[in-house]
Amino acid sequence: MPSQLSRIVITGVGLTAPNGNNLSEFRQALLQNKSGIKHKDIRHMGKVAAGFCNFDETKHQSRKARRRGTRVGATSIYCANESLLDSNIELSMVDKSKIGIYLGITEHGNVETENEVHLLYQNDLNTSFWSHHHNPRTVSNNPAGEVSLNLKITGPAYTIGAACAAGNMGLIHACQMLRLHEVDIALAGGVSESTETFGIFAAFGAQGALGEHSNPELATRPLDIDRSGIVVSEGGAIFTLERLEDALKRNAKIYGEIIGYHVNSDASDFVLPNSERQKQCINATLKKAHLEADDIDIVNLHATGTVQGDIQECQAVRETFNLNPGSNTHINFTKGLIGHAMGAAGALELAGNLPSFEDNFVHPTGYLNHIDEKCVLKNLVGKTKVQKEVDTILNNSFGMLGINSSLIVQKYRK
């Protein structure tokens, strides 16, 4: 065991989002305020606004394997393969037992169970129609397991249930495993197939928290006074992580270095957020990174588009950062353009900001026309991208049952 913590860097990114199927497409869509939200008919719900991805499910797996697997498994396989290709790691040259797969999820198994029950009722409750693939499709480790099978990776492969903080949690757990030298390479991030289940739409609708609008692109408007709730999206973002010394040995491209993270719990409510606990999470992350609040260049808000969620987070950020007109910290969020990708949200939102280290732009927030006075933040990047030198990004991801996560990535410095 090394006497000091290893430096952990990002050397590959693979993703699919409602407005892009790789980092370059995704980044350009964010910079251009291009939404990925559309209307679609959902079983039992009718027409809803949601974010659907359009990637090639069989680019990295056979059609037979796809039929046996799941949508979230296909998303995971696509993102993992694209991330490895981006990292220029040749699997035949590394020990596959020293590769870990750590994928954050909100929930899993709902899609297959809903489909099986629907088929059951379409066939007079004849249980012979219940698929023999149901069990391996619905176990919670399925997404990571499908990646393991696809890439023949024999190291630890599992999912991390952390509600909408899960994308960050996949990365955090990977950092810990790399620093423990349990693995030498980690495929980590978050994935979601939430748009495939009517239940999540119905549940948010019952809460009065489902985003709606005749123009689907206006259904998700975090921080806007006219926001109506969450727009459910699918997607995934998987990063290749390595210890810095290993990345340097092979002359890898380094997107950034993870320098701080923290996780805590509200312990106060099933769904209502707690701004004080969120503030504590952010401050603990800053402390671990040995940074002050003024050292952060971009804060990416969780910003779901729910009234209390937005207000509580903005309060936590306002009280943490010195957001005066001369402040170096700029604020943005991503859900205004892609909706809420649940377990994939934090990972996608981090990926969307990573290119700022190279192009020195802060991407805008989407359709924020009339800000809620309780959500006012100085240096909030609205409809137009902002140019500035970017060295640090803080990514907030918070979830139901009060789980909070914050993570800081820094531009790589020797």
Q: Which residues are catalytic?
A: 164, 302, 340
Helix axes 71-87, 142-151, angle to 10 degrees: 50
Burial classification of residue 144, based on how many CB atoms lie within 10 Å of its CB (0-12 exposed, 13-18 middle, 19 or more buried): buried
Nearest to residue 31, comparing CAs of 384, 275, 312, 283?
384
